[in-house]
């Protein structure tokens, strides 16, 4: 049975209910073909204007919320290895450890890979459109994990700022641990993942003996 446990589910329920009401009004008009009097016009204004507007607003917000989730990122088959590792409770990769964090684990892909600056959400969504285009044009007919497709890489180098959203680069213990590198990391000369590089160990680019035509 359909149950509501979150705001996203509530918005989805409202959107679906509004869509059903809109379609019912439309079907009523098609079947009855009433004269265009005041009542008909008002009904159609609801069915063609108000209800679709509610569907659009609530549906967009609910969909946007869903696009932040890990299952959404993993819904393209080329992301399979990344998703499997992130969801593996025994894995010690950075992706898996962060995905186990109960604060943001369900949105771990977005939390680490979204641009964290102002308008970061917009630029991240623009990149998402680029992902989709590349998926359709370059990866659609590749193997189960994207074998045979081009190597997946980031559009720009990973910025340590994404890590520093949570990990303070000024905490005493961190400064002691990172010694001479601390200033270089803060200024961006060095990246966190230069040393902490066990991020996505199952990524195809990290697998041995991979050729353009597939796995040997």
Partner 1 sequence: MAKKMVLFSVIGTIVAMIFMASSILFPHPLLLVLAMSIGQGIAIFALALYLLAVALDLQSSGGVYIPAEESPAIEEPPPAEGTGPPAT
Residues lying near partner 1 in the complex (CB under 8 A) = 12, 15-16, 19-20, 22-23, 26-27, 29-30, 32-41, 44-45, 47-49, 52, 55-56, 59-60, 62-63, 66-67, 72, 75-76, 128-129, 131-132, 135-136
Q: How far is the CB of 64 from partner 1 (least distance, A)?
A: 9
Count CB neighbours of 66 within 10 A. 13
d(CA 52, CA 54): 5
d(CA 73, CA 68): 8
Q: How far is the CB of 26 from partner 1 (least distance, A)?
A: 5
Q: What count of residues does the chain have?
A: 216
- Of the two residues 53 and 171, which places its CB atom closer to partner 1 in the complex? 53
Q: Residue 159 class from Cβ within 10 Å (0-12 exposed, 13-18 middle, 19+ buried)? A: middle
Q: How far is the CB of 50 from partner 1 (least distance, A)?
A: 10
Measuring CA to CA, how many Å separate 215 from each of 134, 206, 208?
A: 21, 12, 9
- Of the two residues 52 and 105, which places its CB atom closer to partner 1 in the complex? 52
- Of the two residues 37 and 216, which places its CB atom closer to partner 1 in the complex? 37
Q: How far is the CB of 33 from partner 1 (least distance, A)?
A: 7
Measuring CA to CA, how many Å separate 88 from each of 85, 108, 207?
A: 5, 13, 18
- Of the two residues 118 and 129, which places its CB atom closer to partner 1 in the complex? 129
Query: Bridge-partner residues for 210, per DSSP?
Result: 215
Measuring CA to CA, how many Å separate 143 from each of 55, 76, 132, 207?
A: 37, 12, 17, 14
Tokens of 147: 């074998």
Q: How far is the CB of 132 from partner 1 (least distance, A)?
A: 5
- Of the two residues 129 and 154, which places its CB atom closer to partner 1 in the complex? 129
- Of the two residues 3 and 37, which places its CB atom closer to partner 1 in the complex? 37
Q: How far is the CB of 51 from partner 1 (least distance, A)?
A: 8
- Among 107, 111, 96, 121, CA closest to 71: 107
């Amino acid at each position: 049975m359909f149950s509501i446990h979150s705001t996203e589910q509530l918005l989805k329920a409202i959107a679906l209910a509004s869509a059903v009401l809109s379609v019912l009004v439309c079907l009523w008009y098609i079947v009855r073909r009433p004269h265009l009097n005041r009542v008909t016009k008002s009904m159609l204004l609801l069915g063609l204007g108000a209800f679709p507007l509610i569907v659009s607003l609530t549906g967009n917000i609910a969909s946007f919320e869903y696009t932040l989730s890990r299952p959404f990122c993993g819904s393209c088959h080329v992301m399979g290895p990344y998703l499997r590792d992130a969801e593996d409770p025994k894995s010690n990769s950075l992706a898996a450890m962060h995905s186990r964090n109960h604060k943001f684990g369900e949105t771990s892909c977005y939390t680490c890979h979204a641009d964290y600056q102002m308008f970061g959400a917009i630029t991240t969504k623009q990149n998402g459109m680029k992902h989709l285009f590349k998926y359709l044009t370059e990866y659609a007919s590749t193997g189960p994990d994207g074998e045979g497709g081009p190597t997946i890489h980031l559009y720009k180098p990973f910025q340590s700022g994404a890590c520093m959203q949570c990990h303070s680069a000024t905490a005493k213990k961190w400064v002691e641990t990172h010694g001479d590198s601390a200033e270089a990391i803060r200024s961006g000369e060095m990246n966190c993942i230069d040393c902490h590089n066990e991020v996505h160990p199952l990524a195809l680019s990290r697998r041995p003996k991979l050729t353009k035509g597939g796995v040997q």
